[in-house]
Amino acid sequence: MNARLTLRAGLFAVALLLVAALGTWLLFGRGRMPIQTDLLAMLPATEQQPLAEAAVQRLAHANGDRIVLLVENTDDERAKAAARTLGKALRPHNVFASVLATLPPFDLGQMVAPYRAHRFFLLSDADRAALAAAGYDPAQALAQRIDAPFVDGVGTTLQDDPFGWLQHWLDQQPWSRSPLVPEDDLLVAHRHGQTFVLVTATLAGSSYDDSVQQRVLAAVDDAVRRVEHDQPGTRVLRTGAVFYAAAARAGAEHDVHLVGWISTLGIALLLIGMFRSPGPLLLAFLSTVAGVLFATVTSLLVFGQIYLLTLVFGAALLGEAVDYSIQYLTARANAGPRWSAADGLRQVRPALLLALATSLLGYALLGLVPFPALRQMAVFAMSGMLAACLSVFWLLPALLQHPAKPLSAPPVHLAQMLQRGVSRAGLGRRGLLLAMLLLLFALPGWWRLSHDDDVHLLISPPPALVTQEHRIRDITGLGNSSQFYLVQGANTEQTLQREERLEQRLQALVRHGRLGDWIGLARMAPSQARQRDDHALLERILRASGSTSTSNARPAGPAEPTRTLADRARLQALLVAGGLRTTAANAYADAWPGTPLDFKAWLATPMAMPFRYLWMGCDAQGCGSIVLPQGGDDDDVWLRRAAQGLPGVSLVDKAASVSQLFGRYRRYASVWLLAAIGLIVPVFGLRYGWQRMPRVLAPPVLGIALTLAALGYLGQPLTLFHWMALMLVLGVGANYAVFLHEGEPHTAHRPGAMYASVLLSALTALLSFGLLALSSMPALRDFGLTLLLGITFTALLVPASRADEDGAP
């Protein structure tokens, strides 16, 4: 018999070692630590279309691998000197692939040249409207251009663009509208008497790589400190995914340390106090370590990486995994000298299996939510609990052959008093009355409950970083990327046309001050249809104003070349009449009609490079592009309305989608909770009889009801995570009822001992899960607080479930 126990334990130990080795390799053996600091990766796929989800990823990472620094000083010279120094200080660090502070030499003419051949196909919105209106006179436009006061000539020349059409078109391009202007070879903005200078750097690795984060932070902190010291009055604002990721990692590490250490220490002290010897403590931890190890390896094998949320949650799971070994250890302590490891196991097995089953059910429900992060938490918990329980069945018996000291007397005595008090109160009709009173007391709390589904439950960046990002966005005009339009079409042309229809509406929003601006590709390289229309508009205008050869043209649709020739002659005549030299007029007219701008060719030019990420490309389903709204109200009603009724256009708002999903599942959660209770009812009914079942189930259910009331009194808006925790409360609370029911018959000779072990389980759970209430992540904080309340209520109520047997005088 003992040999079988030893053999099983040996096999289990070997398996444990193998898993440990596998885990070590998975964690450290493959270069990068597989810990995911990209918070976006935790979010569920919310978008119906895969392309929208891809666009979200694209935008997050377009800005993901670079940092943006903005140097601010009231003294212009100092601001610029500081920016130069900052650039120089960052450049030697090889964690940056490139650092941009001073601009490379660059000719304004380069902005004009690529568009010159297409100038008769490109019109600004204002010119298009003016040309289409009745009474437009190109001669007037020419005169206005020639006689405009103070023209400093930056842009197109009179010869290249006598009517100013190309200039106007260039003026509406994003690079002409940027609040940042080149000054002293730096990109500078002046605002409220302050000078702001832009310094950017691209990273030589991923923002989510641990070592990249550390090196970037060290380099930037050091350089900024030096610059702020050397140039007094300087402030350096920063933004970039790397800063957010580093903050998230630091927050999670802090949480893991806090929860991990305090709970480990607390549990150790509790166990030593109860069992009065260090042996049980070591065994309890051995079982827990087995659980965490299996859980980590399973999660890594299933998901390939571990989310920060899981890491913190995992630290808290220690407290639940330790319950199984506590039950076994208590059984040994209670058996006294009559202890036999195999008999003891037989005694606790039903309770442990029942407890395991309810836990697995609870976590399986958690895993049904389509959130990557919650799924992983569920897988982590299920594998961890299973392993911890198996270690009690297979490993612990071999190590616990000898009888132990009974449990420490004072806690048992205390437990006994508590148990007697509660079960007396819960007896018969009095119990029912008290339960009713409790519910009555809870009623106003329920009444006060509200809810909150904000995405910041999962992602709560440090406010300091967020304010800096807002300020940088405000000054530089760099867009926010959480809201954008996805435009889809069957081909490039249709996509651009649809984008143009959207941009018409956005233009109206800008006019009414509801939107600052937007960035879209169709504005930089219009659709062929729009270019044809614009060209036709110019053609019509020339013909209408043509004075010379119009009468000679054949009225009935002349052949194409003849028409073009006639148009050219008209153009030439118009320019000469307006005062241009014949040579200049000829040169301009010779350029007529030119060619339309080709989208693909434009996209390949260096000028398009900063905007290339807006083009999602084409596949069998069609093409897609992104339009970024910038500035304006936070209210997205207008943005949403602008997309309404436009085919192929949708507003993608990841934050709003996630919040909606949170809300949907929060509403489902109450139903799930009922379903979970429904699953436990038959299990308890079969085991304890249908008449006693309500009494066994009452403590966890009442515990949940009181927790909800307490949350209401605390003014905590309910979130999805509160409900998730309530599900756990149900699972844990049911365990306590089971432990008490299953264990009590075996410990009749030691009154209070069984309840003491249940309280011990509850305290260890509180020490781990309850500490999550101190977490820096709102989701885990809600989770922790709910468990703290729920477990406390349930553990205190649980003696009432045996009131009819124990409470009887």
Binding residues vs other proteins (CB under 8 A): 76, 105-109, 124, 126, 140, 143-144, 146-155, 157-159, 162, 167-168, 171-172, 176-177, 182-185, 190, 576, 579-582, 584
Cα–Cα nearest to 16, from 292, 264, 279: 292
CB of 666 to other proteins, least distance (A): 47
CB of 187 to other proteins, least distance (A): 12
CB of 546 to other proteins, least distance (A): 20
d(CA 209, CA 434): 57
CA distances (Å), 778 to each of 162, 261, 769, in order? 61, 20, 14
Cα–Cα nearest to 230, from 93, 68, 75: 75
Distant-in-sequence contacts of 641-647, Cβ < 8 A, 24+ apart = 642/502, 642/505, 642/506, 642/509, 643/485, 643/502, 646/498, 646/501, 646/502, 646/505, 647/498
Exposed/middle/buried for residue 496 (C-beta within 10 Å: 0-12, 13-18, 19+): buried
Instruction: Tell me whether residue 183 or residue 804 sits nearer to other proteins (CB atom).
Output: 183
d(CA 643, CA 68): 31
CB of 194 to other proteins, least distance (A): 13
Regarding beta strands 306-307 and 194-203, do their DSSP bridges make them parallel or antiparallel, or are they unpaired?
unpaired
Instruction: Tell me whether residue 163 or residue 793 sits nearer to other proteins (CB atom).
Output: 163
CB of 511 to other proteins, least distance (A): 10
CA distances (Å), 520 to each of 612, 627, 649, in order? 10, 5, 13
d(CA 735, CA 801): 12
Instruction: Tell me whether residue 588 or residue 662 sits nearer to other proteins (CB atom).
Output: 588
CB of 175 to other proteins, least distance (A): 12
CB of 527 to other proteins, least distance (A): 21
CB of 44 to other proteins, least distance (A): 42
CB of 123 to other proteins, least distance (A): 11
CB of 208 to other proteins, least distance (A): 38
Instruction: Tell me whether residue 150 or residue 447 sits nearer to other proteins (CB atom).
Output: 150
CB of 475 to other proteins, least distance (A): 16
CB of 584 to other proteins, least distance (A): 4
Cα–Cα nearest to 735, from 368, 434, 342, 326: 326
CB of 181 to other proteins, least distance (A): 9
d(CA 244, CA 208): 9
Number of Cβ atoms within 10 Å of the Cβ of 279: 14
Cα–Cα nearest to 32, from 263, 244, 206, 278: 206
SS3 160: coil
Instruction: Tell me whether residue 127 or residue 744 sits nearer to other proteins (CB atom).
Output: 127
Taking each helix axis as running N to C, give the angle between helix 2-28 and helix 341-367, from 0 to 180 degrees, rounded to the nearest 10: 30
CB of 233 to other proteins, least distance (A): 16
Largest CA distance in the chain: 123
Tokens 């808290």 found at: 316
CB of 188 to other proteins, least distance (A): 9
Instruction: Tell me whether residue 143 or residue 265 sits nearer to other proteins (CB atom).
Output: 143
The partner residues of 67 in beta bridges, in order of sequence, read: 201
Residues 6+ apart with CB under 8 A from 722: 711, 716, 782, 783, 786
Instruction: Tell me whether residue 82 or residue 760 sits nearer to other proteins (CB atom).
Output: 82
Are 319 and 765 within 8 A, CB to CB? yes
CB of 516 to other proteins, least distance (A): 13
d(CA 247, CA 251): 6
Ramachandran region, residue 277 (left: φ > 0; alpha: ψ -120 to 50; beta: rest) = beta
User: Would you give the end-to-end CA distance of the chain in angstroms?
Assistant: 42
Preceding omega of 593 cis (within 30 degrees of 0): yes
Cα–Cα nearest to 327, from 348, 341, 358, 350: 348
Query: Which amino acid, 410?
Result: P
Query: Which amino acid, 491?
Result: N
CB of 573 to other proteins, least distance (A): 14
Are 632 and 514 within 8 A, CB to CB? yes
CB of 171 to other proteins, least distance (A): 5
Taking each helix axis as running N to C, give the angle between helix 778-797 and helix 720-743, from 0 to 180 degrees, rounded to the nearest 10: 30
Regarding beta strands 649-653 and 615-619, do their DSSP bridges make them parallel or antiparallel, or are they unpaired?
unpaired
What DSSP letter does each residue of 481-506 carry, written as one string?
SSEEEEEEESSHHHHHHHHHHHHHHH
Cα–Cα nearest to 258, from 770, 784, 771, 782: 771
Structure tokens belonging to residue 109 = 């003419």
Q: What is the 3-state secondary structure (H, E, C) of 519-538?
A: ECHHHHCCCHHHHHHHHHHH
